[in-house]
Structure 1
């Protein structure tokens, strides 16, 4: 009798912490560092839905050659899509001093835009782009393939960047470029919407 009870209990311990809402699964606890590009999906879900602003740093590269151009591109794209940050989000992301220039960031360092600010802007850009989907839609997002990103060689001949396609209901909607960091884990360099999120049917 004791053994039969232990097996179901043990199996429960192996189940990740998720919250269910209409069949949607979203992590309730922060995922561990991404060992594979596919792991990035769970980080994006968690950041977008749980609004754990500090967690973005776990999937964000920090080298200047990445954060400057990527921060600029993320915010340019977010602006084009009409995705904005609330005052509460701006405060939580620690970018009050950058709020007025997020949509016009330079692609490199300037006297009033040091790398520490570029990193904050980059983190904010990742979060901002995730806002295009509702919590329920993030719960439906699935992996739809991973390919090599040859353009990633711009970050060095040894750079390993993978493009991960994400979508739901059989439709590809987002490509996430994932860079292998020096510690062996993966981070995000860019999020690119394959379709305008405003055209998606979301609950």
Structure 2
């Protein structure tokens, strides 16, 4: 899978409740399945701040062609950014000690020689953990300020099938694009996260 793919309104009654967090709004209840790429922002805010670890499965694709390479790249990026997972977070995300030891050096696909026990099931768990791990790069206050800053078609995704739809969404605050999120349209018509990457250095980011 090419990196370009990885880099990758609910009705009024379904709009998630919000509370103020230092003047910023964060969902307090799980958002419904994302019917549009823009909805993914609310899922990331909820996941990052409310730490509802099981919720990540709602926005995570499960096909091997996505989870294997993207899990590897997201954890590599998170490691480079100095983002780690606590024992409590690992447990909540379903990551046991054996898999936790592999996260910073995962293969991009099944590896029966060096990773004989790295199954599709484990890759999905690692993928989910990768999404959450990257959200830790921003504080709760920053997540509250995050806004949509553009959504474009990822045309490279069409090489994986005419029906493959990926939208690259930029998120940011204070006029700066902070995060790129590739949103994959799943078979059920809802959207999930196929990849995430930071567009700025976290060390120099004023949060």
Question: Does the TM-score normalized on the shorter chain lie above 0.5?
Answer: yes
Are residues 1:170 and 2:191 paired? no
Question: What's the counterpart of residue 9 of structure 1?
Answer: none
- Note closer, same or farther for the CA distance 1:200–1:181 as it changes in structure 2 (3 Å cut): same
Shift of 1:148: 0.6
Pairwise CA RMSD: 1.5
Greater gyration radius: 1
Question: What's the counterpart of residue 3 of structure 2?
Answer: none
Trace 1:121-200 onto structure 2 (pairs within 5 A).
121-200=126-205
**Deviation per residue, 1:1-38 (Å, 9 max, x gap):** xxxxxxxxxxx988741110221000000000000000
Question: CA–CA distance in 1 between the matches of 2:15 and 2:57?
Answer: 26
- Structure (1/2) with the larger helix percentage: 1
Question: CA–CA distance in 1 between the matches of 2:139 and 2:127?
Answer: 21
Residue segments in structure 1 that go unaligned for 5+ positions in a row: 1-11
- Structure scoring higher RCO (CA < 8 A, sep ≥ 6) equals 2
**Deviation per residue, 1:42-95 (Å, 9 max, x gap):** 000000000011000000000000000010010010011111001111111111
Question: What's the counterpart of residue 102 of structure 2?
Answer: 101
TM-score by length of 2: 0.89
Question: What's the counterpart of residue 6 of structure 1?
Answer: none
Aligned length: 191
Residue segments in structure 2 that go unaligned for 5+ positions in a row: 1-11
TM-score by length of 1: 0.90
- Say if 1:66 and 1:155, in contact at 8 Å, map to a contact too: no
